[in-house]
Structure 1
Amino acid sequence: MAGISWHYVLKFIITGDAAVGKSSLLVRLTDQRFLANPDPTLGVEFGSKLITIPEENKVVKLQCWDTAGTESFRSITRSYYRGAAGCLLVYDVTSRQSFQNARSWLADVRTHADPHLTCILVGNKVDLCADDAARRQVPTEEAELWAKEEGLLFVEASAKSGVNVDAAFESACRDILEKIRKGVFDDDRSPGVKLSKPTNGNVAVDGSNGSSSTCCGT
């Protein structure tokens, strides 16, 4: 689909414990497929995607940085937080520890990222609970309440089935676009928000196919 126009480029980070499905969520977003056994992320991985927000009449290009969830890479991944406009804070609904650790990841993001960043808490792997409710360790209501207390958006999703993956990114994008309208994000000074530069009255043209995913790990 060459020649797709976009209005904004938004920088997103995806953070959370190792093995909660961050890479799988990114691949589901960009390639619409599921990684059954992804290799551990070393450092960061990158993917991009064009999405349309119909009610805003906007096409947004997401630049997503999937960060490693292990402590040994924490100093590296922190550098990618800077300038991000959006964040997916991911935990595994079948792992209470990953939910508890989300507090530490959120503190990290708030220390190193833009103070106006939009963060959405994503409970991944709901597919594992579909046929076996006993596997769930984090009740929806508990996660939703914590998200509300922290001023986060919230959704439960499944990288395997694809449920709510696009919706998570779209919800965060809507919130960022609202902040842009209110002047919270400045097009010239906020590195996580880039306005396309019109040429001859047209928005910029992206010659890619709308999505990509590449490894930038070390």
Structure 2
Amino acid sequence: MSSPYDYLFKYIVIGDTGVGKSCLNLQFTDKRFKPVHAITIGAEFGSRTITIDNNKNKKVIKLQIWDTGGQEAYRSITRSYYRGAAAALLVYDITRRETFNHLETWLNDARQHALSENMTVVLVGNKCDVPCRMREVSVEEGKVFAKDHGLMGFVECSAKTGENVDEVFVKTAAVIYNKIQDGVFNLLNDFNCGIKVGYGDVKGDNYVTTFQTGACCGGSNRSDFKFKD
């Protein structure tokens, strides 16, 4: 039987093949890195329960994460997993310029097929552990793309070392929870928003983040999240 939770949020992880989507999912859910990973066909599923603390009360959130295949041949299959997503993590490889150049196509796909105008989208530059000489996309370019396309946040991370991986998933959940508090979602009637109300006696957590409305999370040059005032 699954553990109780206050809310369930559906995430999709999208981007070109080989950018590290499956590795990000595995690092977040299992705290491990798998250097060789088979190509994802369709989608792979992972989940983890976290706790959001907004300085008023704690809420236990279950994240349901769908890691989608990045190959063009499977695009029609992966689009079916976009429906009803509360959040999309838009991932590129900072050492491969072409994966950054394809972001707009992935973003348009997600916004068209998710069926929720309130989906939270965060830009994720993976492989920040590599030497600077291997980098092809700058931090500033990532921030500019996120700003120009109205994304909620931008983070550079490493699925290999775990740097900023929790931040990507947990702060995105904090943004969604803030939207719930602000009445953005009609949870009784909107079945495509990617959010389900939980059940049972909710206790404990395996990750806690403090979330302050109107504050900017991060502080690192690799991270830039925006919140409504």
Category of TM-score, reference length = shorter chain? 0.7 to 0.9
Q: Secondary structure at the match of 1:160?
A: coil
| Deviating 4+ runs (over 3 angstroms) | 2-5
Partner residue in 1 for 2:187? 187
Q: Secondary structure at the match of 1:51?
A: strand
User: Which structure 2 residues correspond to residues 1-218 of structure 1 after superposition, within 5 A?
Assistant: 4-55=3-54, 57-113=58-114, 114-128=116-130, 132-152=131-151, 153-188=153-188, 189-191=190-192, 192-198=194-200, 202-203=201-202
TM, length-normalised to structure 1? 0.87
Report Cα offsets for 1:34-85 as digits up to 9, x if no partner: 0101000011100010011122511110000000000111011111111000
Equivalent-residue separation in structure 1 for 2:168 and 2:17 (angstroms): 20
Give the superposition deviation at 1:172.
Answer: 0.8
CA contact (8 A) 2:46 2:66 kept: yes
Equivalent-residue separation in structure 2 for 1:156 and 1:13 (angstroms): 18
With over 3 angstroms needed to count, the CA separation of the structure-2 counterparts of 1:47 and 1:3, relative to structure 1, is closer
Give the superposition deviation at 1:148.
Answer: 1.1
Report Cα offsets for 1:90-121 as digits up to 9, x if no partner: 00000110001011100100111111100110
Higher helix share: 1
1:28 is aligned with what amino acid? Answer: Q
Partner residue in 2 for 1:216? none
Equivalent-residue separation in structure 1 for 2:98 and 2:6 (angstroms): 39
Give the superposition deviation at 1:197.
Answer: 3.3
Between the two structures, name the one with larger relative contact order (CA 8 Å, sep ≥ 6).
Answer: 1
Partner residue in 1 for 2:227? none
TM, length-normalised to structure 2? 0.83
Equivalent-residue separation in structure 1 for 2:26 and 2:12 (angstroms): 14
Q: What are structure 1's unaligned runs of at least 5 residues? A: 211-218
Equivalent-residue separation in structure 1 for 2:11 and 2:90 (angstroms): 11
RMSD over aligned Cα atoms: 2.0
Equivalent-residue separation in structure 1 for 2:2 and 2:118 (angstroms): 32
Q: What are structure 2's unaligned runs of at least 5 residues? A: 207-229
CA contact (8 A) 2:5 2:199 kept: no
